[in-house]
Structure 1
Amino acid sequence: MQRRFVITLLLLITTYSFMKAQQPKGQYAAINGLQLYYEIHGNGYPLVLLHGGGSTITTTYGRILPELAKTHQVIAIELQAHGHTADIDRPLSFEQDADDVAALLRHLKIEKANIMGFSNGATTALQIGIRHPQVVNKLVLASIAYRRDALPPGFFEGMKQATLKDMPQPYHEAYLAINPDPKGLQAMFNRDAARMIDFKDIPDAAIKTVQAPSLIISGDKDVTPPEHSVALSRMLPHAQLAILPCGHGDYIGEILSAKTDSTMPVFVVSMISAFLAGK
């Protein structure tokens, strides 16, 4: 009888532990009218991750987030209309996203954090550095665009004609796996397209105010040319630059990466970690 009781107790403990381990890390915070979704992984100094356009935490950072979480407290966010965060009736802009991230850090009682953004997320990260410098320790700006003329010829005209069918299928699937609502998917596409069509250059004077140490990462075959990243590195007062032999997001294993077996993300995580740990 006692042996049966012990076995039952052990089974209950094991089941509870398994269920606890399987519980989603995601949470919501009421931020500027949004129910903003975020996840916290790991321990250490806070590192905020901001995804690209049309994306989710997983599509942008699924390859490297577990590695980053080994040495950082990763706070991964899904911004307005993306992934778990529903759209609301207000304009979508990089500036608004920056304000939402700063408000979330205040909600979490985090005074300062490192901020990493990829693609559209990098533009948002730069806006955080401009609009909310007090919350930024260091910036990692991956595949950033900060001027319209850095984007390929015909980009903005093509964006005006684009439809949801032009969005890569992995982004469709990732969104619908989270939220099986075609209207939400369409809303995300519409928001991202409108934001890019209306995108304005970030003034040089505003960029030069950013005092946070910054690491700029780009591929030599990225959406924006290497010269764009070089110019930004010379404009930011405390910047380092890495141009890698790859395309858009390949260096972090983004879901559209051409080489899924590349070891470059391992190298890039070590580079980012060394930058964030340095003084």
Structure 2
Amino acid sequence: MQQEIAFREGYEQVNGLKMYYQIHGSGDVPLVLVHGGGSTIETTFGNIIPFLAQNRKVIGVDLQAHGRTSDREAGVTFEQDADDVVSLLQNLGIEKADLLGFSNGGSSVMQIAIRHPHMVRKLVAVAACWKREGLIPGFFEFMETASLDKMPMPLQTAFLEVAENKEGLQVMHDKDRDRMRAFTDWPEDKIRSIQAPALIIAGNQDVITIDHAVETAQLIPHAELVILPGIHGACLGEICTARPGSKMPEFTALIIGEFLDK
């Protein structure tokens, strides 16, 4: 019989936001989950949290304008997301954490490791991008014509189910779109500056290229690389790409757990 995993949730005032978080399980150094663009804790990580939280504390966050977290006047940036997550952890009395980010969230956790290295014990970046040519051909052309009606319906539905401000769906979409339209390459020196042990994960049919994942793992001094079968987010069981009955979330959680425990 599977043991029931402890759960609690709450809000913290963070840099002008009312920021939502969840805590699953228990343990010393928490694993902090940072979701992808247009997403929530549940849409990115809902299928893998039960496996991750079996033997560690897992903290999920909804980022600015996403899910249950409020918005601010400014647009969204990876740097601001990093600062917001760190401020939340400090509010919760956490001095150091492991980090797991997916897609945009993978870029955000890399920024945490760059901007706040003292907060990071280990880093897991899934389908993370730090330069434009790391994304598949056509990605930025798509962003130029992106509109809410093209946003995956499971992500829209999930937002509307939990957000206090339903009109915020359009705002969230536009801010995420504009972030990627304005995206510029990060200097390689910033990637090389990441000293935390890192696990770089990508799918073999991902939105980021395998070459980009390889380069990221080569630039980070203490990095390991895993290429898993599947498309963007399939290894996590992300809501838009999860396959019913797939063991991939459990398998991925085992890989992540072994990396964090060694």
Same fold by TM-score greater than 0.5: yes
Pick the aligned partner of 1:41 from 24, 30, 36: 24
How far did residue 267 of structure 1 move? Answer: 1.0
What SS does the aligned partner of 2:57 have?
Answer: strand
Pick the aligned partner of 2:175 from 191, 204, 210: 191
Pick the aligned partner of 1:173 from 136, 154, 157: 157
Pick the aligned partner of 1:200 from 184, 197, 204: 184
What SS does the aligned partner of 1:76 have?
Answer: strand
Structure 1, unpaired ranges of 5+: 1-20
Structure 2, unpaired ranges of 5+: none
Q: How does 1:133-148 map to 2 (within 5 A)?
A: 133-148=117-132
Structure with the higher fraction of residues in helix conformation = 1
Q: 1:112 to 1:159 in 2, by over 3 A?
A: same
**Cα deviations across residues 135-165 of structure 1 (Å, max 9, x unaligned)?**
0000000011111011222322321211100
Pick the aligned partner of 1:252 from 236, 241, 246: 236
Pick the aligned partner of 1:60 from 44, 48, 61: 44
How far did residue 24 of structure 1 move? Answer: 7.7
Q: How does 1:96-115 map to 2 (within 5 A)?
A: 96-115=80-99
Q: 1:217 to 1:74 in 2, by over 3 A?
A: same
Does residue 83 (structure 1) correspond to residue 67 (structure 2)? The answer is yes
Does residue 131 (structure 1) correspond to residue 112 (structure 2)? The answer is no
**Cα deviations across residues 47-104 of structure 1 (Å, max 9, x unaligned)?**
1000000000000000011211111111100000000002111231000000011111
Kept in 2: contact 1:102–1:135 (CA 8 A): yes
Using the alignment, how far apart are the partners of 1:242 and 1:189 within structure 2? 30
Pick the aligned partner of 2:54 from 56, 66, 70: 70
Query: Scaled by the length of structure 1, what TM-score is found?
Result: 0.89
Structure possessing the higher radius of gyration over alpha carbons: 1
Kept in 2: contact 1:143–1:219 (CA 8 A): yes
Kept in 2: contact 1:211–1:236 (CA 8 A): yes
The root-mean-square deviation of aligned C-alpha atoms, in Å, is 1.5
Using the alignment, how far apart are the partners of 2:164 and 2:99 within structure 1? 30
Pick the aligned partner of 1:231 from 209, 215, 225: 215
Q: Which amino acid aligns with 1:214?
A: A
- Residue aligning to 2:14: 31
Aligned residues: 257
Using the alignment, how far apart are the partners of 2:237 and 2:141 within structure 1? 29
Pick the aligned partner of 2:193 from 196, 209, 219: 209
